[in-house]
A and B are shown apart, each in its own frame.
Chain A
Amino acid sequence: KQEVTQIPAALSVPEGENLVLNCSFTDSAIYNLQWFRQDPGKGLTSLLLIQSSQREQTSGRLNASLDKSSGRSTLYIAASQPGDSATYLCAATGGSYIPTFGRGTSLIVHP
């Protein structure tokens, strides 16, 4: 059964820092890896999706990478802003086509 782990569980940084969020998964036979953002009390918003054949995806200040062989993905946030404060979750989708989610990294960016 797929297990997804996210490290760190919580992160607090000053505005302007570049930061890396980590996601690891136990079964490397994935279909895709998706990163989401969740604001308090809200649903999830998709940020980036990396297909199994891809190594990375970029959107604005966000860059997500995927290394299937090692079972890892990273989300890089450049020049962090207070508006980036949220919980970031990753989800790995395997042959069942049903995503397995991690517990998320709670990020606070303070001015």
Chain B
Amino acid sequence: EADIYQTPRYLVIGTGKKITLECSQTMGHDKMYWYQQDPGMELHLIHYSYGVNSTEKGDLSSESTVSRIRTEHFPLTLESARPSHTSQYLCASSHYYQGQETQYFGPGTRLLVL
């Protein structure tokens, strides 16, 4: 059973505010990911990390930043929230075990930017 946590679960915020979405996992997984998902649409990769001090940009990275100072923690920051950022944000981690690499997802953060 994977333990991956996201806070807050829901957030309503005004345009221009700086926000940080938190993600933590207790499995010691090296790889972590942030995705954005709109209803009925595919997941879009925002950022990912191969391990501590490693961060990479995905398809939608231009308006956000991440950090990976500790293995278990991978926060996502939006410097200036806009209504177009309204979406669900999913954090995931993965590990390689017995020839397989499986992703585990957190419950998500629903963001509404007014």
- Which residues on A are within 8 Å of B, measured CB to CB? 4, 9, 31-32, 34, 36, 41-46, 49, 51, 89, 91, 93, 97-99, 101-104, 106
A4, A44, A49, A97: which contacts B100 (Cβ < 8 A)? A49
Cβ A44 vs Cβ B90 within 8 A: yes
Cβ A93 vs Cβ B101 within 8 A: yes
Residues from chain B with a CB closer than 8 A to the CB of A41 are 88, 108, 110
Cβ B101 vs Cβ A44 within 8 A: no
Contacts A32-B100, A49-B100: A44 and B41 contacting too (C-beta < 8 A)?
no
Q: Tell me the minimal C-beta distance from B81 to chain A in angstroms.
A: 21
Whether a CB of chain A sits under 8 angstroms from the CB of B45 is yes
Cβ B108 vs Cβ A43 within 8 A: yes
Cβ A49 vs Cβ B102 within 8 A: yes
Residues from chain B with a CB closer than 8 A to the CB of A102 are 42
Q: Tell me the minimal C-beta distance from A43 to chain B in angstroms.
A: 4
Cβ A98 vs Cβ B90 within 8 A: no
A31 and chain B: residue at smallest CB distance = B101
Cβ A4 vs Cβ B42 within 8 A: yes
A32, A43, A97, A98: which contacts B105 (Cβ < 8 A)? A43
Add 4 more A-B contacts to A43-B105, A98-B33, A104-B40 (CB < 8 A).
A34-B102, A42-B107, A97-B31, A99-B103
